[in-house]
Structure 1
Amino acid sequence: MNLNFPNLLTGFRVLLIPVIVVVYFMPFSWAAMASALIFMLASFTDWLDGYLARKLDQSTPFGAFLDPVADKLMVAVILVMLVDTYSNLWITLPACVIIGREILISALREWMAEIGQRASVAVSYIGKVKTTAQMGSLVILLAFPGGSWQSYVGLAGLMIATLLTLWSMIIYMKAAWPILMGKRESH
């Protein structure tokens, strides 16, 4: 295993997940904002580790495995926290869609890789836009829990992220559908 700087950043992101949770539930007025700032730092490391891995030519199999796992863990944990905090359909339904999509697409990618068709379900531009909208909305929802105007902005962002989540899922499924239905030969 090569523990280069990009991989250490990814590991750091995983270690920040329980820190975000603990800080968020602390009984202080600043806890929500502090957890949002930690989440923002963790989200930034997602971009930075990928950039550095490419720029420094330090991509590794370990990093390629851990990076998407770290992202999915972080987003799922934050969504579960927000479902607990907001306790309403407008957070719960997007959380179910986003987490469900991540499970479905992860399983699809794993299966496609097994049959030598991984490139058919590569990360798309829509997926990157979805991730940006998702991370931004989660920062806002963490920072401003409750009925403030900021939380409504975060909720609107989460709705946009959810629509992009569904759109990207459709793109992935459309690309994989012929293979799933046995209409295209696998290698």
Structure 2
Amino acid sequence: MKAMTLANWITLFRIFSLPLILAFLAQYEKGDEMNQPDEKFRAGSFIFFLLAALSDGLDGYLARNCGQKSKLGAILDPLADKLLLFVMLFSLATINASKIAKIPLWLPLLIASRDLLLLLGLLYFKAAHKEIEIHPHWTGKVATFSSFTLIGFSLLGTSFLSAISVYLCALFVIASTLVYFFRGIKYILDQVGRSVPSTPKKG
């Protein structure tokens, strides 16, 4: 199977579109500071972000249904998603532009904390030489979808919808964290239970 499939090229587009989106935002912020915002830059950032977000579903569809799964894609796809999500959230939390709905900084910090906890958990199981399969939970998928929706609302400057999306995203980030935490605890308890030898009954 070829490493550079069409799905992987689409994933690379998602990665390389990020600097362009940031350049558009920087130019828009610069113009806004001089009270001469150029809406073409804000529109460009939204359009390329929308294309990048849609490409996430497209490369996943090609990988699952068109025989384009690859080891490279398994690495690139989650990397592209995390880069797009975190960089955009932090950028929109620190930008100063009148027509962009600013995202509170605590939200990307919350998401980063969740992912750090998950990473530490995986490192723990790896250090303990325990194999554990990670099955994505629907709460995590909703949190990701809410995050992308929030970024879109922020770029469009819809403050009300952006505010709703912030708390909806935070709710599902916390919910997914708890789900994975209790999954890890259950796995540890199951392993302990299996390792304890059963006491034979006296007849």
1:164 matched to 2:172? The reply is yes
The structure having more radius of gyration, on CA atoms, is 2
CA drift at 1:17: 1.1
Q: Which residue of 2 aligns with 1:80?
A: 90
Q: Give the Cα separation in 2 of the matches to 1:111 and 1:5.
A: 35
Q: Which residue of 2 aligns with 1:153?
A: 161
Matching residue's letter, 1:124:
H
Aligned partner (choices 78, 81, 85) of residue 71 of structure 1: 81
Where relative contact order (Cα < 8 A, 6+ residues apart) is larger, the structure is 1
Q: Which residue of 1 aligns with 2:137?
A: 124
**Tell me, which stretches of 5 or more residues in structure 1 are unaligned?**
145-149
Task: Give identity over the alignment, percent.
Answer: 24
Task: Give the TM-score of the pair, scaled to structure 2.
Answer: 0.78
**Tell me, which stretches of 5 or more residues in structure 2 are unaligned?**
32-37, 193-203
- The RMSD of aligned alpha carbons is 2.6
Q: Give the Cα separation in 2 of the matches to 1:83 and 1:117.
A: 37
Q: Which residue of 1 aligns with 2:116?
A: 103
1:30 matched to 2:40? The reply is yes
1:3 is paired with a residue of what secondary structure?
coil
1:185 is paired with a residue of what secondary structure?
helix
CA drift at 1:116: 4.6
Task: Give the TM-score of the pair, scaled to structure 1.
Answer: 0.84
Q: Give the Cα separation in 2 of the matches to 1:79 and 1:168.
A: 19
Q: Give the Cα separation in 1 of the matches to 2:108 and 2:139.
A: 19
The answer as to whether partners of 1:72 and 1:102 remain within 8 angstroms in 2 is: no
Matching residue's letter, 2:51:
L
Q: Give the Cα separation in 2 of the matches to 1:113 and 1:5.
A: 32
**How many pairs align?**
179
The answer as to whether partners of 2:103 and 2:154 remain within 8 angstroms in 1 is: no
2:4 is paired with a residue of what secondary structure?
coil
Q: Give the Cα separation in 2 of the matches to 1:38 and 1:112.
A: 38
Matching residue's letter, 1:154:
S
